[in-house]
């Protein structure tokens, strides 16, 4: 089994090997191209995103500075928007549904490291997928950790650290992030 296959299956793997290094270098070059393009160059930006990401829906916009590990394991649905300074460490699949909005300085981290230092010092790591449903909004400075699923229609409050699954249609906040209430009819009319 290759290190890439181990990575994608959630096993311990070594990221410092030729195939994975080459894939990260490719993503680095494409991220640099994307980040250097003026915001008004929407078609050119979309061309780069189509090369970088595994799947790109219609009306996708990612503001600079965007960074990712591989890009090819990221899938975004229709009407996706990521504001400034988004980081997606896609050592496992990261899937975003339709109408997902991400405020500045958010991070989505599939990569994890063993707690015991001998294994960690052997340069072994693991990755678990992140899945985000449709119609989800992330406030600024949110961090989503490995293996998390966020249900459709939910809002993740600014500064939250999401370390466990979040159900559908809730407002969730905090560190650790937890649902505090359901999204209700009154929220639909708020300004």
Long-range pairs of 13-16 with CB within 8 A, sequence gap ≥ 24 = 13/124, 13/125, 13/126, 13/127, 14/122, 14/123, 14/124, 14/125, 15/91, 15/123, 15/125, 16/123
DSSP H stretches of helix in the chain = 3-8, 18-36, 42-52, 117-121, 185-188
Q: Is 25 a catalytic residue?
A: no
Catalytic residue among 24, 113, 128, 178: 113
Based on the number of CB atoms within 10 Å of its own CB, is 63 exposed (0-12), middle (13-18) or buried (19 or more)?
Answer: middle
Q: How far is the C-alpha of 74 from the C-alpha of 135, rounded, in Å?
A: 17
Report the distance separating Cα 102 and Cα 123, nearest Å. 31
Annotated catalytic residues are: 113
């Amino acid at each position: 089994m290759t290190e890439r296959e181990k990575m994608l299956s959630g096993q311990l793997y070594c990221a410092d090997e030729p195939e994975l290094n080459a894939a990260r270098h490719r993503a680095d070059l494409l991220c640099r191209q994307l980040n250097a393009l003026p915001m008004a160059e929407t078609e050119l930006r979309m061309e780069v995103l189509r090369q970088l990401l595994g799947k790109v829906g219609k009306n996708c916009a990612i503001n600079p500075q965007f960074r990712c590990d591989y890009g090819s394991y990221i899938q975004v649905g229709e009407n996706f928007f990521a504001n400034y300074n988004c980081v997606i460490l896609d050592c496992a699949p990261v899937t975003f549904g339709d109408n997902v909005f991400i405020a500045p300085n958010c991070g989505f981290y599939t990569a994890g490291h063993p707690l015991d230092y001998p294994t960690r010092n052997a340069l072994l790591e693991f990755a678990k997928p992140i899945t985000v449903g449709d119609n989800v909004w992330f406030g600024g400075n949110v961090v989503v950790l490995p293996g998390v699923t966020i249900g459709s229609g939910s809002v993740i409050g600014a500064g939250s650290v999401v370390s466990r699954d979040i159900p559908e249609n809730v407002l969730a906040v905090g560190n650790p992030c937890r649902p505090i209430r359901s999204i209700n009819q009154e929220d639909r009319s708020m300004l």
